[in-house]
Structure 1
Amino acid sequence: MRLPTIASTFLAALALAPDAALSGAAHPASPQKTGQIELQVNYCRGNTGLMAHLPGTNQQVILGQNGTGIFYFVVPGTYTLTIEIPGRQPHTIQNVVVQDNTITQVSESFCVDNDGDGYSELEDCNDNNVTINPAAAETCDGVDNNCNAQTDEGCQFCTDADNDGFYAQAGCGSAVDCDDHNATTSPGALEHSCDGKDNDCDGRIDETFDKESDPNHCGACFNVCSFPNAAAVCSNGTCGLASCMPGFSDCDGNPQNGCEAGVSNDPGNCGACGNVCPSGWSCNAGQCTAQCTGDVNCPYQDFCDTTLTCQRDLLDGGACNRNSQCVSANCEFGTCQAACPTGTHRCESGGTCIPDAIPCL
C-alpha cells in the first residue's frame, strides 16, 4: 500500500495557497472541489484602500498597494468580482470562471466614470458632473466645461452693472438683462408699474395693464378717461362717455366737453336736449316756468302777484297760505277770514283770497 508523502501534500497546498503554505497562515479547510482566484488590478489613481468582494460568498480581500489579492477555496462557477473604491462608484469584473483544483488569474486595469458621461476620472476634470467632460461645449459661467484647462475661452466680457445677478451679454450664464443700469429691471422681475418699459425683459411692455378697457390706463399708461358731468368708459383704447350725471345731457354730441347741457336749468335744453322754453321763461327742475314781469303776460288762468311771479288761479278749491295769499285779511285754517279788497285780490270758489296787487298787462 502506497502512503501520501509529505512532499506531495505540501506541493498540493502550495499550488492552491502558496502564501499560507509558506507563512504558516491558517485557512479554512478546503472543500472537495475548489479553485483559487489570483487578482491583479491596476486602478489608475492608485490601489491604496481597495477591497475586492466575491458576490454570493462571504469572502473579501483587501488589496495590497501593488493591487494583488487572492480568494481561496472558491467553489467552481462563474463570478462577477466587485472592487470597492473609497468615494467612487464600485468597479466590476465580470465572467470570472473558477474550475476545480485550478488557479484562475485575473488582471484588470481600469478607471472609474463616476458621473456616467462616458469619460473616466483621468479624462474628466469633474467626474461628479455629467455636464463637464472633454466633449462638452464651453459656456461663459466661470467653469472649465470642456476640461482643456481653460475657463470661458472665446466668451465675451460679461457685465452686471446693476448687480442684480443678470448679465447684459448672452452666454454669460444668465438670461440677458435688458436694462443693466436698473436693478428693478431683469428677467423674471414683476411688471410692477405702468411705465412704458419692459420691466421683466420678456419683450413686452406693461402687459399686465389693460390699456384696451381700463379707464385709468386707456390707450396709454395713466391716461385717465374723464369728462365733465359724466361717467367715462374705455373701449379699444379710446375714452368715451358711458352715461351723464343726473340733470345733465350730451346735447352737442361732442364727448370732449362731456355732458355740457344742464337740462335741469337750461332754458335751451329744458328737461331734454332741444326742448327750448318760450322767451322770458326759465327752466326749473327740467320744467319751463313763466317769469312775471311788467311786459309779460302770465299763462292762461295764471295771475301776477305782488312778488312778480305768476301764480295759478286757485279755482281748484285749494286753501290759502298764511300771510301769503291773504294780504289784507287773515288766513285761518286755510280760509281768508275777511272780504277780499277790491282790485288787489282775487277770491277763488273756495273762499280764499289771492293777492293780485300788480296785474299782468
Structure 2
Amino acid sequence: MIRWSVALLALMLTACSVPSLEELQGDRPRACNAQRGCGAGQVCLFGACQDSPCGTRTPTTAYVDADGDGYAADDAASRVFCDAVPPGYATNRGDCDDSNAQVYPGALELCNGRDDNCDGQMEQGSVTRTWYLDQDRDGFGRNGPGVEACDPPSERHVNVSGDCDDEWAAVHPNAQELCNGLDDNCDGTVDESFPEVGMACTAACGGRFMCNATQDGTVCEGTPRTQYFADVDGDGEGDRNGAPLGEGCPGETPPAGMVANSLDCDDNDDGTSSQRMEICDGLDNNCDGRVDEGMSCGQLRRVVDPALTGRQWRAVAVHPDGYPVWVAGMDGKLAVKMSATSAFVSHDSGLATGCSHQGNSPDWHAVWVHPGNAYAVVAGEDGWIAEHNMGFCSSPLKYDLPGDNDYFSGVVGVGSPLRVFAASTLGHLYEGSGPVLRHNSDGRYWGLHAAGQDMLYAVGSAGEGAPFSPVINQFHQSNWSNPTTQILQGVSGYNGSLRAVWAVSPLLVFAVGDAGLVMAGSALSPNWERILPPRGGAPDFVSVSVPSGPISAYILGNGGSGQRLYRLTQHGWAKAPTFAQGNPTVSLRSLAMTSAGNFWIVGDDGHVYHFPEGATQ
C-alpha cells in the first residue's frame, strides 16, 4: 500500500508543473535592490520592481546628490528619469560624506584628517606636504629635498622653500633688494636695483659708486675733493669765514686767488694768519681764537681819571713817541698825559695854566702836537687858536673868521721850517700866527691833514647848505691859495660831507665821512675811488688814522651797528680791536695813534679810551 502511494505521487509530480513565487504572489511587486534587478520594462523604485513610466524610452534611476560631487550616499532617495539626469542627482552611490563635495569615491586622499576617497581609511596613499627647515624663522625654508609628511617635523619647519641664506632672517624671496653686496631677495643676482655700483663717478677723485651707509642708494667714494677758498690778502691761507669757491683733486693747482685751505681768520689782513706771531694790537694775529694771548698788553678800555670825567671831548693828539697825549674839548677843556705812569693834568680855561683870554672859554674842536717839542696847538670856536707848552698856554689868538657861527675844525703843522694851518667849518684855510687867509671856498671844511712836507688835504662839502656833496681840496706849497679840487668817483646822488682825512703819504690818502663814505686817492691823480662801507650798516665816520707798518686805516664811526672802531686794509674791511666793556653808548669824536699797538679815542661825557689799557685802570 505504501509503495503504491509513493508511485502515485511521483506520477503526479511528473505530469503537473509547480507555480513560481511570482505566480503564487499574483500582483504583488517584486522586491529589488542594487544586487537584484527588475525584469524588462520595469524599474526598481523604493525597493520594488515597478512598471517603467518611460514607455519605450530607457529609464534612468538616479539618487539625490546633496553636495553635487557626482556621487550620492548609499541611503539616498532615488528617482526615475526618462530623459537626462538633472543637477542634484547622481547615478552613482557610495559617497561617505554627501555634505562635502571634496569627499567621494576616487577622490585624492589628502593630509587633512578625513577619508577623502571613501575607502574606509584616512591618510592612506595620500598626497603629503614637503617641509623645509627654516633656521632663521623668516617664513622661508632652505633649499633642498625637504621632508615629506602631513605635519611639520618641528616648529622650525615650513612648507615654503627658496631661502638662499637661512642664517639671516633679512634674506628671503620676499625681501627688498638692498645695496649691500648680497642677494637679499634670493633671485640669483646681487644689488640688481643699483646697477651703477662700481661705475666711475666724479664727485670724488678716482671715485667709484659704492653702496651708502643706509643701503638704500649709492655714494661716490674715492679720494675726497679738496675745497678751494678765497685768499684775498695773498698770504697763502683761505678765508675761514667764507664759503668754498671751487674744488679740485689733491695735487692740482687751485685757480688764481684761491688756496686749498681755510685757515685765515681775517682774509682782508695779510698780517693775520695761522703762521703769524701774536703782537700787542688788540687783534687775533695768529688765528687761534684769542687776542694778545701770552702778553701783558691790556685791552681797549676806558681810562678812569678825574681830569677826564664829565668833559665833552672833541679831539685827541699823540706825540710820535707815544707821549705826551693831549685831549681837547668844549668849554675850554684841555688835558695832557705826560707818560704811561702819570695821570692826566688839566689845563682848562679858568685855570692859571689854561688857554683863556679875558674870561673866554672857547670850545676846542681840534688839537695837533708838535713832533719836536711836543707842544700842543689847539683851535676852535670863533677862530680861537693857542699853543700850550705843557706848563702854560701862550697868549691865545682870535682869528677874525668872516662867517657867523664859524669855527676851526682842523689844525696841522707841515714843512720845514714848520708852518701851521687851520681850516674852518665855512671853508677858510689860514696859515701862521699872522694870520694869513690862504683860501676861501664856497663850501665847508671838517678835516685837515698834511701829506709829506709840502702838501695839505682839506675835506668837507661843496656849498654851505643841504643837499651836501663831498669835496676834497689838495693844497701845495707852490701855491697855498689855489687848491686842486679832486674828482670823486661813485658819489653821484650822495648827500653828505667828508669829516676827516689822513695822508699816509702823497701816494695814499684816505678820507671818510657821513653814511659810510670812504674815499681813497693819491697825489699822482685827481681821481679818487670810493670804497663801499662795511657789512652791517653805513655808520657816520668821524675820524681816521693810519699807523706805521702794513697799511691799515683805523676809522671811528657812530651809528650803523653802534659806536665802534673799524679797520680797512688794502684788501678790504678787516677785523678791528673791540672795546673791552662793550661799544660805547655816547658819540665818539676823534682817534689818534702812533702804531697798531698804541691808540687813543675820545668822545662825549668824559669818554676816553686807550689801547693798551690795563683792566685795573
What range describes the TM-score normalised by the shorter chain of this pair? 0.3 to 0.5
Which protein has the larger Cα radius of gyration, Structure 1 or Structure 2?
2
TM-score between the two structures when normalised by the length of structure 2: 0.25
Greater strand share, structure number? 2
Higher relative contact order (CA 8 A, sep 6+): 2
